[in-house]
Structure 1
Amino acid sequence: MLEWHSIQFVWPSLLWLLATLPLWLGVYIAWQRRGVQRAWPSANMNTGATNIRFRRHAPALLVLLGLGGLLVAIARPQAILLLPSRIDTVMLAIDSSGSMRAGDVQPSRIEAAQAAAKSFVLGQPGQVKLGVVSVAGAAALVQAPTDQRDLVIQAIDQLSLQPGSALGSGIVIALHAMLPGSGLDVRGLIDGETTPPASTGTPLGGPKPAPTGPASGTAPLRPISLPKVPPGSNTAAAIVLLSDGQGNAGPDPIKMAQVAADLGVRVYTVGVGTAQGTVLKAQGMQMRVKLDETSLKKIAEITKAEYFSADNRQDLLQIYQSLSSKIVLKKHRRTEISALCALLGMLLVSWGCAWAWWRHGRII
């Protein structure tokens, strides 16, 4: 969609060439007055004079308009267009912690999530690569990004519930799978420190290197810093995190969401469960598990994505259908439209010349 008010020109001074159009119009009028029109076949006398004049001069008018379009193209016009941004990779980070056994979403949170995830996978365009990350006490890459839908479906079906929920680790693993060349320090982010570089040694008799690492009492190691980009600016990748929001292991998911935001990756979050929750019984213990929307909303907000909530399986299916359209992002981009103006001008010139040849057997 073109925003007409945003049109600008790289070379606006060349728009003065449009002043030559009246000159060409004057040449055509002079040509007509010299009697060239008498060489053309006469029109049907039953047709009105106005219609005769229109059909006689319409080809010239089309050529004149086409020349105007070509002259505008020379000035290199630019405009802001609303363009779709193609997504190349989507990672599904699915919570497989014990709380996903809860039955407040029938038949259970995990089964409803799996069914909706498979519906989402089958609804994606063929060129989009999809991967799966299992988020439990320790997140793990279950399926690397691939365009083979059967492998992704199989990975979703094979998810098994385990104790703990490391949402922050799931975001990091998903980022690393999508952006393997980003230099992301996965171990440092998950463990909270980076591994020091190996010692290069010292010459014999030289001073011994100072000990490094936590054992030496030095300052704690920090993760490697990466160049930051505006949040949501990476339109080729996205993460869909499906969870009940109750993280209890691994790094802080809010901080890991900031890492994703610094890489420009959006993290769409889907809350599975109800606000009231339900009581789970395991190993003689009882625990109420309920949907924690606060952290999921914060993750989506930081990464410039959206949060979706679902209370039942049908809502989940509708959410994933909505996500299919949300992930194909649209953005306003300033684009040069010189080629479009030139194409329009050439079409008008060609149409005018073809019309004149068909009616009169000549172009001029």
Structure 2
Amino acid sequence: MSFQAPLFLIGLVAIPLALLALWAARRRPAKYVIRFPATATLAAVVGRTGRARRIIPPALLSLSLAGLVTALARPEATIAVPIEKASVMLVTDTSGSMNATDVSPTRLGAAQAAATHFLDRVPKSLQTGLVAYADGPNTVLRPTQDRDTVKGTLNALQADGGTATGDALEAALNALGKRGKNSPPAAIVLLSDGASKTGRDPNEVAQEAKAAGVPIYTVALGTPDGVIQQGGQVLNVAPDPQALAQIAQLSGGRAFTAEDSDALDAVYQTLGSKIGTKKEKKEVSAGFAAFGLLLLGGAAFTSLRWRGRLP
């Protein structure tokens, strides 16, 4: 939290000084002492004032003053707000290696589930598109706010074929349209488990993405022990996080790794907060002022109720 007028916070010093003065006044003996022999009898009839009744009104008044002084300092809180007209392209690898079961239920199944959660969590104002690829892009959806269409297409994907990451990234850039200086923010989220085997060099496309102001966030999915059955043989399909990290670095994005479905879901949740929202400072003086006035009313009520005078 920050303050637009922090100089007013000096007023907080007055609160402990006022409490100290009240404490001193209560300990000071009465100026005129009257001897009254029936004091014990009256005390038994009237009863003693509880300690809480002596403490609560000044405490409420002190907290009230603290809230009002803080409001004068115009506090600001940093909050996440949705980015209007921002776009993100989900680029999902559907090559044969995504059938590996080292991530439950399969790598592709985990990717579909995490992407669906991502779509549910990001702000509705965020436009999302989808590119699915194997030997080349086989599905391309331009950014839209129609989440049901994106989810339905995503859940229908099947894993088979090779890996043409560069061609898929190029298709995602084209789907975002021509980029200019005043274009709305955009990003690409690439989920894959291996290096590109065919098509364009993804590093070249990553440099083009950086020039267009579109960072690529990469997620390397899978474990080194991942295997698939192909042609009666067992093939190791360990992920290649280094290749994906290089793509992220060249584009100005960030690289993640996920070895299980929970980690993948956490990555998508992090990406949702990065892509779908931005940090802004909002003044919250009204909240502190309301808090201070509420406590001020409480201090006045309790003091008049219990002691017949203001604190």
Alpha-carbon distance between aligned partners in 2 of 1:27 and 1:289, rounded to the nearest angstrom: 76
Seen in structure 2, the aligned counterparts of structure 1 residues 149 and 114 have a Cα distance that, compared at 3 Å, is farther
Letter of the 1:292 partner, please give it: D
1:305 equivalent to 2:249? Answer no
Deviation at 1:92, TM superposition (A): 2.2
The Cα of 1:63 is off from its aligned counterpart by: 1.9
Deviations 1:216-238 (A, max 9, x none): xxxxxxxxxx589xxxxx6x855
Q: Aligned match of 2:179 in 175, 179, 182? A: 182
**Structure 1 residues 44, 261: CA separation in 2 closer, same or farther (over 3 Å shift)?**
farther
Q: CA deviation at 1:304?
A: 4.2
Distance 2:91 2:44 in 1: 73
Q: Map Cα deviations across residues 107-161 of structure 1 (whole Å, 9 max, x no partner).
A: 9x9x934322331244233545543202345436533344555423432355467
Select between 18-27 and 333-342 the one with higher mean Cα deviation: 18-27
Look up the match of 2:133: 135
Deviation at 1:320, TM superposition (A): 2.8
What one-letter code is carried by the residue in structure 1 that aligns with 2:5? Answer: W
Gaps of 5+ in 2: 31-42
For the pair 1:151 / 2:99, whether they are aligned, the reply is: no
Q: Report if aligned partners of 2:101, 2:227 keep a CA contact under 8 Å in 1.
A: no
Alignment equivalent of 1:11, drawn from 2, 5, 11: 5
* Corresponding position of 1:257: 206
The match for 1:114 among 108, 112, 117 is 108
Q: Aligned pair 1:324/2:272, yes or no?
A: no
Q: Which one has the bigger helix percentage?
A: 2
Code of the aligned partner of 2:132: S
Q: Quick one: percent identity of the two aligned structures?
A: 26
Residue type of the partner of 1:101?
G
Q: Does 1:105 align with 2:97?
A: no
The amino acid of 1:326's aligned partner reads: T
Shift of 1:167: 1.9
Instruction: Sort the Cα spacing of 1:103 and 1:363 in 2 relative to 1 into closer, same or farther, 3 A.
Output: closer
Alignment equivalent of 1:342, drawn from 280, 283, 289: 289
CA deviation map 1:30-66 (0-9, x unaligned): 99999xxxxxxx999544x6x44x5135323322331
Paired residue for 1:216?
none
Aligned residue type for 1:62: L
- Deviation of 1:261 (Å): 5.0
Q: How does 1:190-205 map to 2 (within 5 A)?
A: none
Q: CA contact under 8 A between 2:75 and 2:284: conserved in structure 1?
A: yes
Q: Displacement, 1:164?
A: 6.2
Deviation at 1:102, TM superposition (A): 4.5
Kept in 2: contact 1:238–1:267 (CA 8 A):
yes
**Residue 28 of structure 1: CA displacement?**
7.8
Residue type matched to 2:108 in 1? Q
1:166-186 deviation per Cα after TM superposition (whole angstroms, max 9, x unaligned): 423423433454x55733xxx
**Which segments of 5 or more consecutive residues in structure 1 lack a partner in the other structure?**
1-6, 35-41, 184-225, 229-233, 282-286
Q: Is the 8 A contact 2:227 2:238 kept in 1?
A: yes
User: What residue is the counterpart of 2:40 in the other structure?
Assistant: none
8 Å Cα contact 1:269/1:307 also seen in 2: yes
| Closer/same/farther in 2, CA of residues 270 and 76 from structure 1, 3 Å limit | same
Once residues 291 and 22 of structure 1 are traced to their aligned partners in structure 2, the CA distance between those partners, rounded to angstroms, is 62
Name 1:72's counterpart in structure 2: 70
Label 1:309 to 1:56 Cα distance change in 2 as closer, same or farther (>3 A).
closer
Contact 1:269 1:300 in 2 (8 A): no
RMSD of the TM alignment (CA)? 4.9
Distance 1:339 1:305 in 2: 38
- Tell me the TM-score normalised to structure 2 length: 0.64
Match of 1:292 in 2: 240
Distance 2:24 2:129 in 1: 70
SS in 2 for 1:123: helix
Aligned mates of 1:15, 1:106 — CA distance in 2: 59
Once residues 43 and 144 of structure 1 are traced to their aligned partners in structure 2, the CA distance between those partners, rounded to angstroms, is: 84
Q: Distance between the aligned counterparts of 2:44 and 2:149, measured in 1?
A: 70
* Distance verdict in 2 for CA 1:18–1:247, change over 3 Å: same
Q: Deviations over 1:191-236 (max 9, x none)?
A: xxxxxxxxxxxxxxxxxxxxxxxxxxxxxxxxxxx589xxxxx6x8
- Tell whether the 8 Å contact from 1:279 to 1:288 is kept in structure 2 after alignment: no
Residues 225 and 236 of structure 2 are in contact (CA less than 8 Å); yes or no, is this contact kept in structure 1? no
Aligned residue pair count:
282
Letter of the 2:242 partner, please give it.
T
Say yes or no: does 1:240 pair with 2:190: yes
What is the one-letter code of the residue matched to 1:321? D
CA distance in 2, matches of 1:264, 1:354: 59
